[in-house]
């Protein structure tokens, strides 16, 4: 119960890594707010978390919509009085090589993956400062450290969220707030599961461990970073890749 009673917002919490993180946080005793654009999936995850004996609430929130975020944060503060952890997990991919990338592809990915993280963090930071405590965790990627073919927009967004945590660690460390990023390699989520078997096989072959991560293996890292066991980890970007980049 390393997160007992910690009020935790997980954006993009209705699928993949976010859903696994919500499940792990509940197992560790957190109060979880699942927020996602997909309301049916939010409701299903919240029901599942409650059935597992956890305390969970759900919100249909688009991380590009500051009014929706403010409403959720206000409701959570009214209900629980505090916000302890923000997991900025919501993200999308819209891949194309630079020569073919459209302005719409660039703008959408930056809006959700980068500005969405800024929007959500802005909405909780005053509360965390008042509390003198808080944890902010950003979903980066191995692509946010090394770049990737066909991912100009995604790489910029994932480098950017590492820039955020390094800046926030410096600005907010003295106020009791830690900010860190997680950089997964290949993770078996709905995004990757839709790829052809031979592409998945080729990806797995590149990993020394010869397999993708399961979402739970990333969720475990978020839970550890959110807990007091990681009390001196601040401004880090932790690669969770099975050795992919060696």
Residue numbers at the binding site for ligand NAD (CB under 6 A): 11-12, 14-18, 36-38, 62-64, 89-92, 112, 116, 139, 141, 184, 186-187, 189-192
Least separation in angstroms between residue 78's CB and ligand NAD is 22
Cβ proximity to ligand NAD: between 176 and 201 the closer is: 201
Least separation in angstroms between residue 46's CB and ligand NAD is 13
Total number of residues shown for the chain: 246
Letter string b/e over residues 67-78, b meaning 16 or more CB atoms within 10 A of that residue's CB? ebbeebbeebee
Cβ proximity to ligand NAD: between 26 and 183 the closer is: 183
Cβ proximity to ligand NAD: between 93 and 129 the closer is: 93
Cβ proximity to ligand NAD: between 164 and 186 the closer is: 186
Least separation in angstroms between residue 25's CB and ligand NAD is 15
Catalytic residue, from 59, 146, 154, 232: name it: 154
Q: Is residue 141 classed as helix, strand or coil in its secondary structure?
A: coil
Least separation in angstroms between residue 207's CB and ligand NAD is 11
E strand segments, the chain: 7-11, 31-36, 55-60, 85-88, 134-139, 177-184, 237-240
Displacement of CA 31 from its chain's centroid (Å): 16
Say how many Å lie between the first and final Cα of the chain, rounded: 34
Please name which of 33, 29, 22 lies closest in space to residue 61, comparing C-alpha atoms: 33
Query: Mutual orientation of helices 116-131 and 66-80 as an angle, nearest 10°?
Result: 30
232 is catalytic: no
Catalytic residue positions?
154
């Amino acid at each position: 119960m390393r997160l007992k009673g910690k009020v935790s917002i997980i954006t993009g919490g209705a699928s993949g890594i976010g859903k696994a993180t919500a499940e792990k946080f509940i197992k560790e005793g957190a109060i979880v707010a699942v927020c996602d654009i997909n309301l049916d999936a939010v409701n299903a995850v919240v029901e599942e978390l409650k059935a597992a004996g956890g305390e969970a609430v759900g919100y249909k929130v688009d991380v590009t919509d500051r009014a929706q975020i403010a409403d959720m944060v206000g409701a959570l503060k009214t209900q629980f009085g505090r916000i302890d952890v923000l997991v900025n997990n919501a993200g999308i991919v819209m891949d194309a090589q630079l020569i073919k990338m459209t302005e719409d592809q660039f703008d959408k990915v930056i809006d959700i993956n980068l500005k969405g993280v800024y929007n959500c963090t802005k909405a909780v930071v005053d509360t965390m400062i008042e509390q003198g405590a808080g944890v902010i965790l950003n979903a980066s990627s191995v692509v946010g450290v090394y770049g990737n073919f066909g991912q100009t927009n995604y790489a910029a967004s994932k480098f950017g969220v590492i820039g955020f945590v390094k800046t926030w660690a410096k600005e907010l460390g003295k106020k009791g707030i830690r900010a860190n990023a997680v950089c997964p390699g290949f993770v078996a989520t709905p995004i990757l599961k839709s790829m052809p078997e031979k592409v998945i096989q080729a990806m797995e072959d590149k990993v020394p461990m010869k397999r993708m991560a399961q979402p739970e293996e990333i969720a475990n890292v978020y839970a550890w970073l959110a807990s007091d066991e990681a009390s001196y980890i601040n401004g880090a970007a932790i690669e969770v890749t099975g050795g992919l980049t060696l």
